[in-house]
């Protein structure tokens, strides 16, 4: 499950619901400050997790009048809150969408997390509401898949449901290849690899030791330029490919870090697949992890560019997985430098279980360097000024982490 931006001070003040003429159930969570979110299915229950405390005035449950559900349950989990929706009917593919609405000081409206749930007969157009935004989840992979009976590939789309997994497995590999070439933000994907499948991969294990202080001099850092080769990543309106943005920034970052005394390795230095052409996602992602483990790195940094169906969405975000006591600290140091020195939105530090930052043993982050779907940011990211500044600020964040 993907949790979004960490907003420890945020508090939920209200949870509301409504049903439109098409019988679309809308759930709106009012929050005092920016907060990340995640949506997942748990049996017949749809869960909306918001990284915010539940206010005392918010009830533990609410009655709902809808063909989809009779009630909402608001569960306080301490540092986050889960809005549970017990469903009365099985959902179809792309039958729920989550997005955020920014705080509007002019109207007095707070920051809101919105979840729209569509019944089987409804067609969703987003009418009567702000344009929907798929949660700012990184495009982890758009690569063609390879038929391999020993390694199963399970792509989870933000708006898919558990009920559709059986149908998904019936799709031919050629259909998957065509689908993966369609770089739409509605297909924001996270690669999940079953543990049994991961165990079958060629896995390199480092010594498990890493340094977290004492300055940059002598530190071992692995940089992962996202995508490459057969996997273009996100694609801009002018055809710009994510893989061609991440690589030059990674090279610039390598040079800066080495000038400060660090030893830097890269998962790729040219436009290639790290594992090899037509690898499965599991093979490709593990190959990137293996580089960090092979050199017993002190840190692993994966560079990506984000994308959204809402072309107005933009900004930096940094993802981490809390496998050590230092992953979050690393993410904060990098995100703080980026957010304080660019005139774009600060989307915050976000927790995610992405393969490369979860499976690797040392502290790791995945940095989303603005949105290729945002025309202003697309123009920026193609320029050397943006690329050099982004590399410099990430380096400064890394240096502060080791201070």
Is 50 exceeded by the pLDDT of residue 400? yes
pLDDT of residue 121: 55
Whole-prediction pTM value?
0.57
pLDDT of residue 177: 40
CATH 2.60.40.3500 range(s) for the chain read 11-117
Instruction: Give the pLDDT band (50/70/90) at residue 396.
Output: very high
CATH 3.40.630.40 range(s) for the chain read 138-403
Q: CA-CA distance, 389 to 403, in Å (whole number)?
A: 21
- Is 258 part of the annotated catalytic residue set? no
Ranges 2-11, 282-291, 338-347: which has the least confidence: 2-11
Q: Three-state DSSP class for 298?
A: coil
pLDDT higher at 19 or 154:
19
Which positions ≥6 away from 265 have C-beta within 8 Å?
Answer: 220, 221, 222, 223, 291, 292, 295, 297
Beta strands at 45-50 and 37-42: parallel, antiparallel or unpaired: antiparallel
Instruction: Give the pLDDT band (50/70/90) at residue 24.
Output: confident
What does the DSSP assignment read for 88-122?
SSPPPTT-EEEEEE--BTTTTB-EEEEEEE--TT-
Neighbours of 21 (CB within 10 A): 8
Q: Which of 190, 242, 284, 368 is catalytic?
A: 368
- Stretch 184-209: mean pLDDT: 57
Name the CATH superfamily for 138-403: Zn-dependent exopeptidases (3.40.630.40)
- Contact criterion met (CB below 8 Å) for 315 and 347: yes
Beta strands at 316-320 and 299-306: parallel, antiparallel or unpaired: unpaired
Q: Which letter, b or e, does each residue of 48-63 get, where b requires 16 or more Cβ atoms within 10 Å of its Cβ?
A: bbbbbbbbeebeeeee
Q: Which CATH number fits domain 11-117: 3.40.190.10, 2.60.40.3500, 3.40.50.10880, 3.40.50.720?
A: 2.60.40.3500
Beta strands at 11-19 and 53-54: parallel, antiparallel or unpaired: parallel
- What are the tens digits of pLDDT across the range 220-274? 999 999 999 988 999 999 999 999 999 999 999 999 999 999 999 999 999 999 9
Is 80 exceeded by the pLDDT of residue 100? yes
Mean pLDDT of the chain: 80
Instruction: Give the pLDDT band (50/70/90) at residue 98.
Output: confident
**Residue 221, Cα to own-chain centre: how many angstroms?**
22
Beta strands at 61-63 and 71-76: parallel, antiparallel or unpaired: antiparallel
pLDDT of residue 92: 65
Termini Cα distance of the chain: 32
Which positions ≥6 away from 327 have C-beta within 8 Å?
Answer: 320, 321, 357, 363, 364, 365
pLDDT of residue 13: 94
- Stretch 22-39: mean pLDDT: 88
């Amino acid at each position: 499950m993907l949790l979004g931006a960490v907003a420890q001070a945020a508090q939920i003040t209200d949870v509301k619901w409504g049903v439109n003429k098409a019988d679309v159930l809308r759930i709106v969570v009012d929050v005092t400050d920016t907060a990340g979110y995640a949506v997942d299915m748990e049996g017949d229950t749809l869960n909306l997790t918001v990284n915010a405390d539940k206010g005392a005035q918010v009830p533990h449950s609410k009655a709902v009048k809808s063909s989809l559900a009779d009630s909402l349950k608001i569960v306080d989990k301490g540092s986050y809150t889960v809005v549970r929706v017990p469903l009365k009917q099985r959902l179809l593919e792309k039958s729920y969408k989550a997005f955020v609405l920014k705080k509007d000081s002019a109207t007095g409206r707070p920051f809101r997390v919105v979840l729209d749930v569509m019944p089987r007969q409804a067609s969703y157009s987003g009418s009567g509401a702000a344009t929907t935004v798929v949660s700012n989840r990184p495009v982890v992979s758009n690569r063609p898949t390879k038929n391999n009976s020993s390694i199963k590939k399970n792509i989870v789309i933000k708006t898919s449901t558990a009920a559709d997994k059986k149908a998904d497995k019936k799709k031919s590999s050629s259909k998957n290849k065509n689908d993966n070439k369609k770089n739409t933000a509605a297909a924001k994907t996270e690669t999940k690899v079953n543990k049994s499948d991961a165990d079958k991969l060629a896995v390199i294990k480092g010594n498990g030791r890493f340094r977290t202080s004492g300055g940059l001099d002598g530190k071992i850092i692995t940089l992962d330029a996202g995508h490459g080769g057969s996997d273009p990543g996100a694609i801009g309106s002018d055809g710009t490919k994510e893989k061609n943005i991440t690589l030059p920034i990674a090279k610039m970052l390598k040079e800066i870090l080495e000038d400060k005394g660090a030893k830097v390795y890269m998962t790729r230095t040219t436009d290639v697949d790290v594992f090899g052409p037509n690898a499965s996602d599991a093979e490709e992602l593990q190959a990137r992890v293996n580089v960090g483990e092979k050199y017993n790195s002190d840190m692993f940094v994966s560079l990506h560019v984000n994308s959204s169906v809402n072309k107005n969405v933009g900004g930096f975000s940094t993802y981490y997985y809390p496998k050590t006591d230092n992953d979050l600290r690393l993410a904060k140091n990098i995100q703080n430098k980026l957010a304080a020195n660019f005139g774009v939105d600060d989307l915050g530090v976000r927790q995610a279980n992405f393969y490369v930052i979860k499976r690797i043993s040392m502290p790791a982050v995945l940095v989303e360097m603005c949105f290729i779907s945002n025309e202003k940011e697309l123009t920026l990211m193609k320029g050397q000024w943006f690329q050099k500044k982004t590399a410099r600020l990430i380096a400064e964040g890394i240096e502060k982490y080791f201070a």
